[in-house]
Structure 1
Amino acid sequence: MDLRGKQKSFLRSQAHHLQPIFQVGKGGVNDAMIQQVGEALEKRELIKITLLQNTDETPEEVAATLEAALKCQVVQIIGKILVVFKPSSKDKYRKISEQVRRI
């Protein structure tokens, strides 16, 4: 699902009040973290990920890794915070993606 400008804007506004639920630290992005992010995206559809100061990876590298592994979309990168979106495959968790589809 490719997002248009208005859809990205809507997702950014929805993510504004979210707290980051994952942190990328010294170890970087590993398989276990990718699996946990995938599970969180399945239930929430929209999450924030923050990069700690001690990480060697750039936000763009983390975004590319997550997009390749999870087929998700990084909606926004501000400083060391990423906003990640992926529509849920289960109907009961599809709240944000239904709103995005209508835009």
Structure 2
Amino acid sequence: MTLSADRKKQYRSLGHSLKPVVTIAGNGLSENVMNELDRALEDHELIKVKLVVADRDLRKQVIDEFCQQARCELVQEIGKVALVYRAAKKPNAKLSNISRV
């Protein structure tokens, strides 16, 4: 599910106005965090995730881990915020950040 460069550019522009909907603290990826991340991706498709992890290398590992577990793709990472995308199985036009454009 690799996104093209043009699609990533489009999603970065959409993500600019989004607020983080999931926060991952330094204690890692608990089951509840993964459930919330999965629900948010299924509802909105394109979301921002805030990481409260001070170490840059550890933050990159956490991003890679949750992208792999949630089967989503990293669109952009700026500081402690990651923009991720996963296509919904049944997109809801009222909730999706992609179809509301």
Question: For 2:14 and 2:97, how far apart are their aligned partners in 1?
Answer: 12
Unaligned residue ranges in structure 2 (runs of 5+): none
TM-score by length of 1: 0.81
Question: For 2:59 and 2:33, how far apart are their aligned partners in 1?
Answer: 15
Describe the shift of the 1:56–1:27 C-alpha distance in structure 2 as closer, same or farther (beyond 3 A).
farther
The 5 Å alignment of 1:48-59 reads 48-53=48-53, 58-59=58-59
Q: How many residues align?
A: 98
TM-score by length of 2: 0.83
Over 2 Å off, 4+ runs: 53-59, 91-95
Deviations 1:63-88 (A, max 9, x none): 21122111110111111110010000
1:55 to partner: Cα distance: 7.5
Q: Secondary structure at the match of 1:23?
A: strand
- 1:96 corresponding residue in structure 2: 98
Contact 1:25 1:55 (8 Å CA) reproduced: no
Note the aligned Cα RMSD (angstroms).
2.3
Which residue identity lines up with residue 51 of structure 2 in the other structure?
L
- Quick one: percent identity of the two aligned structures? 29
Q: Which is helix-richer, 1 or 2?
A: 1
Contact 2:43 2:91 (8 Å CA) reproduced: no
Contact 1:15 1:46 (8 Å CA) reproduced: yes
1:35 to partner: Cα distance: 1.3
Describe the shift of the 1:69–1:2 C-alpha distance in structure 2 as closer, same or farther (beyond 3 A).
same
1:11 to partner: Cα distance: 0.4
1:56 to partner: Cα distance: 8.8
Q: Which is strand-richer, 1 or 2?
A: 2
Describe the shift of the 1:55–1:20 C-alpha distance in structure 2 as closer, same or farther (beyond 3 A).
farther
